[in-house]
Amino acid sequence: MIDGTGVPQGLGAAHFLWPKSHAIALAPLKNGFPMLSRLQSSALALAFALSAGVPLHAQTPAPGPTQPKEADKPIPEPNVSVTRHSGTFGGQRIGYTATAGETYLKDKDGNPKASIFSISYVKEPRDPGRPITFLFNGGPGSGSLWLHMGAFGPKRVAIPSDARDDGAPPYPVLDNPDSLLDVTDIVFIDPVGTGFSHALGKTEAKEYWGVTADAKSVAEFIRIWLNRNGRWNSLNISAARATAPPARPRW
């Protein structure tokens, strides 16, 4: 039912607001129902539509806590994983330690700027005078995966070497008897922007992209690795694949 103010009875003010100044004068009842003119009907329909579609007390939600930008987040400690294995290489049974982890390159104030990811394989028991080979991929812009899992690592991916279709991954992983571990320890390096290596904080990765910048960052990583592992007396060899020329750091 609708009363003389034009407000449907049974609807509270929270559902329908109709100011008295806009009250609709209803026509006489017919068969118990009020008769509305076409103008009155249109006005009433518009009022219903507006009341249903617009909340009475709409409020702008309060902004949530501001999330820190990726560059402003604290830099965590480097991740390192150490495991021990054995295998047969060059006809010799050799036990070795595998170390996969991050090495941070820092600025002159000691602030981390980039993370270099590497995987090293060192024969046990350790020999501080044993040769060590540092391997990284060329390209540029490619990680050491291809040298690692396709040629010199203690494990290799089993795919055809005669240009046959190698099918879809995942591929089997096999022991690699042709690994270099019988004659040298091995460190696989991913330069910044390849593999799992990346810039840290507000540093831009492109600072490490370029012939000179790339060579300096790899040389810095090698220095850090030799210091941490006490291997300055080892014959150290640097080798790269593809279009990047081999780079032997100069100290």
Q: Indicate the domain borders of the chain.
A: 1-59, 78-240
| 8 DSSP 8-state letter | B
Closest CA to 104 of 229, 190, 195, 199: 199
Residue 40 is predicted with a pLDDT of: 54
Closest CA to 136 of 179, 176, 187: 187
Mean pLDDT, the chain cut into blocks of 10 residues (251 residues total): 48 43 47 52 53 53 63 87 97 97 96 97 96 83 88 91 81 93 96 94 92 91 96 87 47 36
Residue 76 is predicted with a pLDDT of: 93
Give the Cα separation of 3 and 13 in Å (integer): 14
**Phi, then psi, of 34 in degrees rounded to 5:** -70, 145
Q: HSE-up of 202 (CA within 13 Å, CB side)?
A: 4
**Phi, then psi, of 35 in degrees rounded to 5:** -100, 125
Query: What tokens does 49 get?
Result: 């539509």
Give the Cα separation of 177 and 158 in Å (integer): 13
Which CATH number is 78-240 given? 3.40.50.1820
Residue 106 is predicted with a pLDDT of: 96
Give the Cα separation of 230 and 211 in Å (integer): 28
Q: Where are the alpha helices (DSSP H) in 99-237?
A: 145-147, 211-229
Residue 64 is predicted with a pLDDT of: 62
Is residue 188 within 8 A of residue 136, CB to CB? The reply is yes
**Phi, then psi, of 100 in degrees rounded to 5:** -110, 125
Is residue 139 within 8 A of residue 123, CB to CB? The reply is no
Residue 122 is predicted with a pLDDT of: 98
